[in-house]
Amino acid sequence: MKILYSITLALGLLTTAAQAEPVKAGDLTIDTPWLRATPNGAKVAGGYVRITNTGTAPDTLTGAAVPFAKSSDIHSMSMEGGVMKMAPVSDGLTIKPGETVELKPGGYHLMFEGLTGSPKAGETVSGTLSFRRAGAVPVTFSVAPIGASAPGGPHQHQHQH
Ligand SMILES: [Cu+2]
């Protein structure tokens, strides 16, 4: 029964990934993974996602991977003496049972490093999130414009002035 359930989840994941619907991985719901586009030559890119733990045991986000970055870290952001500081979260980001953790600009974020390409706004990027319990979970990041503070809606607005 448990195995069947997992297979159903895996199949569901394959069909929903392209539609940017929340991805279920075991007890985790992974909602709206997105990246910020980077200018050519940028060394790092920020990644964001909302993760909800509907289970009874904590899980920990330990890393992420995308094809255009050699490595990644999880960073926290905080104000210290009026200056925004980023610091690696060394032991991963724990999502307690019943909790939602949101990685977003100005807070926790994925920091992709050693970029070998630059994602462009409007693209989607296939990547992986790694969890201690749920394992490696394939996700599709949507790419928002450079400096965007939110992923934007499912449709593109055309602004004409
Ligand atoms: Cu960072």
Tell me how far the alpha carbon of residue 63 lies from the centroid of ligand 1, in angstroms: 13
Q: How high does pLDDT run on average in the chain?
A: 86
Residue 43 maps to a domain: yes
Residue 63 maps to a domain: yes
Residue 156 maps to a domain: no
CA distance 153 to 7: 30
Tell me how far the alpha carbon of residue 109 lies from the centroid of ligand 1, in angstroms: 6
Residue 95 maps to a domain: yes
User: Is the predicted pLDDT of residue 159 greater than 80, yes or no?
Assistant: no
Structural contact between residues 113 and 65, judged by C-beta atoms closer than 8 angstroms: no
Quote the number of domains for the chain: 1
Residue 26 maps to a domain: yes
Residue 149 maps to a domain: no
User: Is the predicted pLDDT of residue 79 greater than 50, yes or no?
Assistant: yes
Structural domain of 110? 2-144
Residue 14 maps to a domain: yes
Q: Which of 89, 133, 103 is nearest to 35 (CA)?
A: 103
Confidence class for position 93, pLDDT limits 50, 70, 90: very high
User: Is the predicted pLDDT of residue 123 greater than 90, yes or no?
Assistant: yes
Confidence class for position 151, pLDDT limits 50, 70, 90: confident
Residue 150 maps to a domain: no
Signed CA dihedral, 62, 65, 70, 76: sign only: negative
Report DSSP state, residue 157: -
Confidence class for position 78, pLDDT limits 50, 70, 90: confident
Contacts made by residues 88-94, CB under 8 angstroms, sequence distance 24+: 91/60, 92/60, 92/61, 92/62, 92/63, 92/132, 93/60, 93/61, 94/58, 94/59, 94/60, 94/61
pLDDT confidence of residue 18: 44
User: Is the predicted pLDDT of residue 13 greater than 70, yes or no?
Assistant: no
Tell me how far the alpha carbon of residue 161 lies from the centroid of ligand 1, in angstroms: 35
What's the CATH code of the domain at 59? 2.60.40.1890
Average pLDDT of the segment spanning 1-14: 48
Average pLDDT of the segment spanning 68-96: 93
3-state secondary structure of 110: strand
